[in-house]
Amino acid sequence: MDAQRAELCALEAEVAVLRRACDELPVPWSETSRIQKLFQEIHPSDSAGGESSEDLRSRVGRLESELAFLNTVTGISIRNYSKQTEDLTSTEVTEKNIKKVVQKYRLSGNCHMVTFQLEFQILEIQDNESLSSVITDLNIIMEPTEYPELSEFICRAEERRDLFLFFRSLHFFVEWYEYRERTFKHFKEKYPDTVRLPEGACSRCMSICSASRPGFELVIVWRIQIDEEGKVSPKLDLLTQVPQRALKLDKSRVVETAPLSFRSLLRVLGIEAALESLIRLLCAENH
Amino acid sequence: MLMTRTHLLRFSFFCRMGVLAHLERLEAQVTESRTKSAERQRARAEGRALGARIQKLRRLRDELRAEVQWRRASVKASTASVQPDQTAGMSEQDVLERRWEHAKAMLQAYRFTGLSGRLTSHGVCVRISTAFEEHLLESYFVDLVIQKPLRILRHSVPVFIPLEKMAAQHLQSDIRHFLFSLCEHLNAYAGRKFQADRLQGDFAAFLTGPLRRNALCSLLSFTYRVDSGAQSVTFSARLLYEDLTVTLPTRVTVACEGTEALSCSWEHQRASHETLFSTKPLHQVFASFARKGEKLDMSLIS
């Protein structure tokens, strides 16, 4: 009872300190409120026809606000862009009223922590009825070692010349990547003695070991997969390291079936709760 | 023997005394144990209440820790995004014109990400571009009013795309997720429609009947003829796209039209067609049929 009361006092004190710290820090803007603030800073134009009367400064301001908005909304920041046009319309083609133009583009920027460089060509054919645009070449230049989970997907996107798919899947990949980073970091901070991140902050795996049970280690490998259609999903696996003596005692083959049981646990509890329960399992004696 | 009356009385008195005393003792015992157990229960309840309070406080402390960390990180991130001035030595007009050209170019560049937009007097009009592999297809727009809460004023999204559902789930809390989800749905729809249109347009010669499809292009059914030398078999195919964010079907059935049982080689073809339709875009499958047909013709000539 005394130990409990002591803990209660300590917790109350800690909560009071954290509350004060929270009050001193500003509330970060959510995406939506940031967009609202950005929008409030713009002086809307009077009408579409009023552009000539606006001075350069306000026009520039408006364009840059549009850019800031797009940056916030897409999560993509474009640094460099260049365009080269080549007119392929030959004289005989002109007689049939068909126009052929090739546009060459260079684009570079980043989506959060992923930097990209693109070179692509678009062939535009305009005839009497319609305008068709086809990407005839796509080169995606990225550092192959930085994000190895992306390399297969990049090859496929280049083969299919699917530029929009590249950006869409990149966005979802970044979302999952940052979620994985946040989750592992959270557990590392909550259980500093039990949890290790072998590859550092952007680790793809998290290892759990207990000082009171040396020789036992649980490793959770969290891969981010991009399938044939460009859909991004997480894939988590459990690896166990158990001393020989303990394996011999394991009559009901708990260790052997652990990876499968982990998959079921994930389905039932979700990622965070499943990881938390595994950590609690091994560090039960520490508390 | 001579138990006198007084003796008897005294005896019974002492007996009664003994019994009474015993009863009293028993009663005292019961009361004592009742009080003791009541005390124990109180102590246990107190202990449980303490335990529960401790759990609550632990959770609160964890949440507050996370909040403080998040706020600290956000302060760091926002102060880091201030950029140094690179335009020393240029006239103000030049600087402005440079910024104007640069901003215009960047806005054009955003069209290639699939998501672009322009500001309006009430908010922003987002433009979602679609493509299927290398073919750039139609664009859709969503006109957003930037107020608390965000709402959609106008849009050109087809009615069979679950726009309201997506907006209800994500628009207020995570506008980016809302737009990218919408992007996924629209691109997948445009891709399915493109494949169906190409089948009807470029490969009509193979079809023995009309291509039946729903507006969402998530259910296609058609009959087609396959020639192999002198023989010719009509197959009926049904493609079901249960996942609205992809352009390949999730369930394919290819059956033989007609009542005769298929020979081994035709059964093999039927099964391979099922696999082809599940793994390759529709019009590309028919393009490969066309190429095979050409090869066969060549062999007949020589």
Q: Say yes or no for a CB contact (<8 Å) between A32 and B248.
A: no
* Cβ neighbours, 10 Å, residue B219: 17
Kindly report, residue by residue over B143-155, the tens digit of the pLDDT: 999 888 889 999 9
Mean pLDDT of B232-260: 89
- Which of B176, B195, B197 is the best residue to mutate to test the A interface, defined by the most A CB atoms within 10 Å of its own CB? B176
Helix or strand (DSSP H, E) at A131: strand A131-141
Residue of B208, B70, B298, B197 whose CA lies nearest to A130: B197
Task: Give this complex's ipTM.
Answer: 0.74
A residues 209-268 closer than 8 Å to B (CB): 228-229, 231
Query: Is residue B87 predicted with pLDDT exceeding 60?
Result: no
Residues in chain A with CB shorter than 8 Å from the CB of B138 are none
Tell me the mean pLDDT in the region B31-45. Answer: 89
Whether residues B110 and A5 touch (CB distance < 8 A) is answered with no
Q: Give one DSSP letter per residue of A146-193, joined into a string.
A: T-HHHHHHHHHHHHHT-HHHHHHHHHHHHHHHHHHHHHHHHHHHHSTT
- Region B17-42: what's the mean pLDDT? 84
- Cα–Cα distances (Å) from B85 to A66, A208, B95, in that order, read 21, 48, 11
Closest-CA residue to B171 (of B144, B140, B141):
B144
Which residue of B53, B75, B176 is in closest CB contact with A75? B176
Query: pLDDT tens, position by position, for chain A (287 residues)?
Result: 688 888 888 888 888 888 888 777 766 655 556 666 666 655 444 344 444 445 888 888 888 888 888 888 888 999 889 888 888 776 666 667 788 889 999 999 999 889 999 999 999 988 878 888 999 999 999 887 778 889 899 999 999 999 999 999 999 999 999 999 999 999 999 988 888 898 887 889 999 888 777 788 889 999 999 998 889 999 999 998 888 887 788 777 777 888 888 889 888 898 999 999 888 887 765 44
Q: Among B107, B115, B175, select the one facing A32 at the smallest CB separation.
A: B175
Closest CA to A35 of B179, B80, B271: B179
Q: Are A125 and A136 in contact (CB under 8 A)?
A: no
Of B72, B104, B107, nearest to A25 by CB-CB distance is B72
- Element at A272 (helix H, strand E): helix A271-282
Q: What is the pLDDT of residue A49?
A: 40
**B15 has a pLDDT exceeding 70:** no
The mean per-residue pLDDT over the stretch B216-220 comes to 95
pTM tops 0.80: no
Whole-number pLDDT of residue A34: 63
Q: Which residue of B has its CA nearest to A135?
A: B134
> Between A27, A63, A78, which is nearest B104 by CB?
A63
The Cα B140–Cα B147 span in angstroms is 22
Please give the Cα distance from A241 to B86 (Å, whole number): 55
Q: Which of A200, A236, A195, A202 is nearest to A217 (CA)?
A: A195
Residues near B173 by beta carbon (within 8 Å), at least 6 away in sequence: A30, A32
Average the pLDDT over each of A127-131, B68-72, B103-107 and give the range with the smallest value: B68-72
Between A53 and B36, residue with greater pLDDT: B36
pLDDT score for A260: 87
- Whether A39 sits inside 8 A of B51 (CB atoms) is no
Nearest to residue A263, comparing CAs of A281, A238, A233? Answer: A238
Within 10 angstroms of residue A232's Cβ, the number of other Cβ atoms is: 20
| Residue B11 pLDDT greater than 80, yes or no | no
pLDDT at position A44:
47
Identify the bridge partners of residue A240 per DSSP, sorted by sequence position.
A218
Cβ-Cβ contacts under 8 Å between A and B: the total is: 195
Quick check: A35 and B173 CB within 8 A? Answer: no
Tell the residue number behind the tokens 């039209």, with chain if given: B257
